[in-house]
Amino acid sequence: MANIKSAKKRIRQTQKRTLRNKIRKTMVRTAVRRFDDALNRGDLEAAATALRFCYGRLDRAAQKGAIHRNNASRRKSRLALRLQRAQKSAS
């Protein structure tokens, strides 16, 4: 355990940031799960709506530093590709 006041403060700050980042990452996972569920049901309209919601969550997590911006971009691209393939196979 830290003895110095500034080190104790850093520990408190790290705990707060870790909790915030954990919340943001959980929100991203939930949004992606909703997208997956809609895609698996074959509901392309709901999947498209869920994809837009995923974009917002991923962008926000990247903006706040919970995930890297390239990670967010890569995941958005992969999700969009999955929706495109589902739309092609449906038609």
**Domain range list for the chain:** 12-90
pLDDT < 50 regions, the chain: none
Residue position matching structure tokens 């994809």:
51
Q: What is the pLDDT of residue 90?
A: 83
- Residue 39: per-residue pLDDT: 96
Instruction: Say what the pTM is.
Output: 0.88
Angle, helices 44-63 vs 5-41, to 10°: value is: 170
Position of tokens 């971009």?
73
> φ, ψ for residue 64 (rounded to 5)?
-85, -5
pLDDT at 24: 97
3-state class (DSSP) for residue 43? coil
Query: How many whole angstroms separate alpha carbon 76 and alpha carbon 54?
Result: 8
Q: For 59, phi and psi rounded to 5 degrees?
A: -60, -40
Classify domain 12-90 at the CATH topology level: Methane Monooxygenase Hydroxylase; Chain G, domain 1 (1.20.58)
CB atoms within 10 A of CB 72: 21
* pLDDT score for 19: 98
For residues 54 and 35, is the Cβ–Cβ distance under 8 A?
yes
